Chains A and B, each alone.
Chain A
Amino acid sequence: MNELKTMSEQAPDSPERRRFVGAAAAVAGLAVVPGVMLYEVADARPEEQPASSAVRWGMLVDATRCASGCDDCVSACSTENGWTPVAQSAHPRQAPQWIRKLQLEDPLTQAQINLPMLCQHCAEPPCVDVCPTGASFKRADGIVLVNRHTCIGCRYCMMACPYKARSLVHEPLNDTQKPDVPRGMGCVEACTFCVQKVDRGDGTTACAEACAAAGHNAILFGDLNDPESEISKRLRELPTKQVRADLKLNLGVRYHGI
């Protein structure tokens, strides 16, 4: 199986091949859109350099700005990462959903809240604790991932996740897979914080981009460890909560307005 390993700092295989692919892409890119490529190459983390714990990637979701009926973040995630939208799936109960729109209603007051639910990228992830092979792992920069090569599909992580954030790939995948987002039948998967974009130096995720493009700006992605980052500044101003804070998992995703 030709699976790229940009997701995993654990398996830095064949740097030559990756450098070659990178160089080829850079040359092609230079020919087409020189400005964009130069900017991105300058900002990206070099391949030899592992993810650093100096950075902790995180997300702020402002539920007060999340529009009812809008699922642009979900569509953008599906497009970026190559999973079939649930509406197009022949088996909706078995279809993977990396991100979903959750509608909450207070039965007493009828107050409604909309928010996107995704992997919360816990600092103390229960999925990583229970994984028998170590396929579930947390990168130094806080991103929780599944190593596609060592996941045996036991689904213990799905039993352990308090956020129902993970999916098993139940059926053979069609050829819509993205080259930098490896997936496979029988393996468990979840939101990766668009690790391929992060490692390219985009500094954001597909869902955050789509939410901004729709004018809602309910999702903000950034470095929680950098006090000058926009997300850190906003988190200082806005009161936020962690979902199931009682579990003390120290989540990478914080919600305002819940």
Chain B
Amino acid sequence: MASITFREVEGSSLKYWLLFGALGLFVLFGALAWNHMHHYGHVVTGMDNQIVWGLPHVFAVFLIVAASGALNVASIASVFNKPMYKPLAPLSAILSLALLAGGLLVLVLDLGRSDRLIVAMTNFNLKSMFTWNVFLYSGFFALVGIYLWTMLDRSVKSWTKAAGTAAFLWRLTLTTGTGSLFGFLVARELYGTGLLAPMFIIMSFAYGLAIFLMVLAAAYAWTGRPLGDAVMLRLKTLLAVFVAAVLYFVAVHHLTNLYFTKAHAVEAFILRDGGAITSLFWIGQVLIGCVIPLVILLTALGRQRSWLMIACALVILGGIAQMYVTIIGAQAYPLDMFPGFKASSSYFDGEIHAYTPSTPELFLGLGGVAVALLMTAFAVKVLRLLPVSLDDATVAKLDQH
């Protein structure tokens, strides 16, 4: 097999430190936002007793879902024996660890009692999807960590496929768990369906790959290393397949609901009358997140690096819109405790609940993104994760084997 040279990025340029500093600043803002929320309570957020999970959950769940998707490229290389992707596997693994860490950080810092994290680590209710997710996240860190080790240490290289397969199966379970956080909720009209688990898996493929492509392109552009079109175009096609699959699942989910009369009201809210939620669904999730990227990826536009990057950015923005609609939209619609009756109360029963995210919530979420990117930027500086060259000639040699 043609040999690939991996090398740390030098990370001494002004550009690197500016990136490091800018990300660090966002981490600092995130920390301050957490401190503010923790000190004054959730009263300083836009969340209330109607919208109990807000923008931090949107960011957290998006990052966690994207984390498992970012491992895709490594899985294709190790599990499905595609040598062309092998040089990309270490970055794919580290990015997935970083995204998961960022997402989990946002999730735990948004707890009403984030100081009681140790309680969550020592008291388990095995019937809770949340508890299962605690195990799934820990296992993911361990398995992907081992997988990365087998890739970086020649003495354990023979274990790469086994570790990669274990990590691949685990990440499928992990995203099933994330989707089931919502799928296993009986109370809300938009949840309570097993469809959410496979839907979250396919979403993770799309979001994770979009983030991976952007990070890869940025890393090579900023370090001046050659990155050929062969790799990018292959991944571009894969991204188009994933985005189309996301659109398919979203359509099936809503069509199923539209068939059932009992779900007509909540569907009318999401699809037609929901104001900001409806806009986020059609413009954010469907148009920006799926339709426009598909047009770019499936036409000649997608062969241009800059358009490909735009498509990736749109998939990411659409993914955040999708999480917003899924998490906030489902809560904004009131619980239907007395079907057939109009309800009203001092507790806002029977009303569509408004939600305006506050600044601390936004910065807590962005802080999680910054943590993920900062970890990645640091990792490529201290570990040999990136091949020195990914030009077409180098990649073509790999593909012949």
- Give residues in A with beta carbon < 8 Å to B: 74, 86-87, 91-97, 100-107, 113, 117, 126, 128-135, 150-156, 158-164, 166-172, 185-188, 243-244, 247, 258
Contacts and interface: CB of A to CB of B under 8 A. Distances in A.
Q: Which of B113, B129, B349 has the most CB of A within 10 A?
A: B113
B112 A155 contact: yes
Contacts of B184: 130
A168 B187 contact: no
Nearest to A147: B123
Interface residues of B, number: 47
Contacts of B42: 94, 168, 170-171, 186
B111 interface: yes
Contact of A133 (B123, B129, B181, B187): B123
Interface of chain B, helix or strand or loop or mixed?
A: loop
B345 A103 contact: yes
Interface of B: 40-43, 47-50, 52-53, 111-114, 116-117, 119-120, 123-125, 127-131, 134, 181, 184-188, 331, 335, 337-338, 340-349
Contact of B112 (A103, A130, A187): A187
B130 A156 contact: yes
Tell me what chain A mostly uses at the interface: helix, strand, loop, or mixed.
loop
Contacts of B52: 155, 158-159, 168
A190 B125 CA distance: 20
A113 B112 CA distance: 36
21 contacts: A87-B346, A91-B48, A92-B346, A93-B48, A96-B49, A100-B347, A100-B349, A105-B344, A117-B337, A132-B124, A133-B123, A134-B124, A150-B119, A152-B120, A158-B49, A159-B188, A166-B49, A167-B49, A170-B49, A171-B43, A243-B338
Contacts of A102: 343-345, 349
Contact of B111 (A101, A130, A152, A172): A152
Contact of B125 (A96, A131, A160): A131
Given A159-B53, A160-B186, A185 B128 contact: no
Contacts of A185: 41, 112
Given A152-B112, A187-B113, 17 more contacts: A86-B347, A91-B48, A102-B344, A104-B342, A117-B347, A130-B127, A131-B128, A132-B123, A133-B120, A133-B124, A150-B123, A151-B116, A159-B185, A162-B337, A169-B41, A170-B43, A243-B338
